[in-house]
Structures are given as C-alpha cells and as structure tokens.
Amino acid sequence: MLNIVLFGPPGAGKGTQSELIIKKYDLVHFSTGDILRAEIKAQSALGLKAKQFMDKGELVTDEIVIGMIENKIEQNKNAKGFIFDGFPRTSAHAVALDKILINRNIPISGMIALEVPKDELISRLLLRGKDSGRADDQDQTIIENRIKVYNNETAPVIDYYAKQNKYISILGVGSIEEIFSKIASAIDAK
Ligand code: AMP
C-alpha cells in the first residue's frame, strides 16, 4: 500500500499536485480542508464548529480532524493507498495518524514536503481567493496568520517524519508538470 503525506504551507500546491498523484497512482485523496468546507456547506454541527477557527486562519481542534480522518480511512478499506493533504498539521496529528495506520498495518510510505517562498505563497493565495471566492484566501491578514500557524505548529511535523527517514523535500516552484515529475520520481523511488 502506498500512503503519502503531501505536506507544505498554504498555497504550496498540495491540492493541485494531489489531483495528479491520485490519477497516476490510483490513491484515495483526503484533504481535511476540503472535508471541512463540505461540512460548512452542509451546515452540519461539525462544520459550524470548524468555521469559527477557519475564518481566523487558526487550526480546527485535534478532536475534530483526527476523528474525521479515522472515519474516512475506515470507509475506504479497499483503497490501494491514501494521500493525506493538509493533515497531519501538528505533531499530535502525526502521532495519532501513525497509531491509526499501524493498527491497520498500513504505515506511511513517505512525506513529500513542498517548499515555496512566503511571497510566492501570498500571491498564489490571493489569486486563488479571487478565482474561488474562498474567504480565507481573500484577506491578507488571515493568510499571514495561516502561514504563521504553519511555521509554529505545522513545520515541526517535518522532524517527526525525518526521524523515521520518511521526509522528502521538493521545491514547489516552477510549472505544475515539472513539480509533479519530481514528486513522481520520489514516489517511484519508494
Ligand atoms: P486548507 O484547505 O488545507 O488550506 O485548510 C483551510 C483551513 O481548514 C485551515 O486554515 C484550518 O483552519 C482548517 N484545517 C484544514 N485541515 C486542518 C487540519 N488537519 N487540522 C486543523 N485545521 C485544519
């Protein structure tokens, strides 16, 4: 089974690259951000709770996202593998994910981290905000907070996977195809 964590700050291109990876490797894609936005759209209790954090660019509580991921894994028992996009976002998430996967004997194969300079992230997110209408992509203060949260709470997750020899860093600048080809080479080497 191929289980990939696709990692990186907001605007690094995780969603775009996930689409290409799932097509080539026939994996199931879990984006916690997409799942949460669907919950908000459906006006579920979980969505309403999550929205309070998402509107400020803060992380939604561990309890919400870990439970969500566990349910999705349970619902996809016959998958060839998973791609985790936007999760884990804290070291506690990474520990919880390992527990869930090791219990099922399907460990993480590798963590691919997309590296993109901050200025480029901000301009990509503002552009995406214009196109998609996503509120948290339209306000520079919220964007800056999301990048700050990434640096403080999410970046340490790199150490967690580096210690397991699973961390692969890829420069996420250039054409979508160029970046994908680097990702595919890293996956094929697994
Ligand atoms: P994203 O679509 O990954 O950029 O996520 C958008 C927002 O959803 C984030 O700013 C967080 O508020 C929330 N979110 C998404 N994934 C997670 C996660 N794994 N843990 C906590 N909050 C999350």
**Ranges of each domain in the chain:** 2-184
Q: 163 C-alpha to center of ligand 1: Å?
A: 25
Q: From the CB of 146, is ligand 1 less than 6 Å away?
A: yes
51-80: pLDDT as tens digits: 999 999 999 999 999 999 999 999 999 999
pTM of structure? 0.97
Nearest CA, atom 15, ligand 1: 33
- Give me the residue label for tokens 């994996």: 27
Inter-residue contact 160 to 97 (CB < 8 Å): no
Alpha-carbon Rg of the chain, whole angstroms? 16
Backbone angles phi, psi at 111, to 5 degrees: -115, 120
Q: From the CB of 121, is ligand 1 less than 6 Å away?
A: no
What homologous superfamily is domain 2-184 in, according to CATH? P-loop containing nucleotide triphosphate hydrolases (3.40.50.300)
54-to-34, 102, 151, 169, 187 alpha-carbon distances in Å: 12, 30, 17, 27, 31
Q: Locate the ligand 1 atom nearest the alpha carbon of residue 10 and give its number.
A: 4
